[in-house]
Amino acid sequence: MNQGPNRILDDFAKLMTDAAGAVQGVGREVETAFKAQAERWLNSMDIVKREEFEAVREMAVQAREENDRLAARIAELEAKIAAAKL
């Protein structure tokens, strides 16, 4: 007789464990579907990805630094030309 209630409790615990696993599986499926839909939505809006933005940003920083170097060099050369004319 002792095994009757224990077996019922064991079966109930197994059922709850299986249900928790099923809920987790559904949660992962919902998350995957949501991410896929969000990505499709963002792609349709032509939004730039962070990696692309950072790459272009780095190119702009480098171009600005080169522009500053060239501007300083031009100013130096113009000063030399002006000094040579005197």
Enter the DSSP assignment of 48: P
| Structure tokens given for 41 | 């939505």
* SS3 category, 1: coil
Residue position matching structure tokens 């079966």 = 11
Residue 1, pLDDT above cutoff 50: no
Task: Return the amino acid letter for 44.
Answer: S
Quote the CA–CA distance of 21 and 27 in Å, as a whole number.
10
| Structure tokens given for 33 | 């579907």
Model-level pTM greater than 0.85? no
pLDDT in tens, 5-60: 688 888 888 888 888 888 888 888 999 999 999 888 888 887 888 999 999 999 99
Quote the CA–CA distance of 75 and 67 in Å, as a whole number.
12
Phi-psi region of 46 (alpha: psi -120 to 50; beta: other; left: phi over 0): left
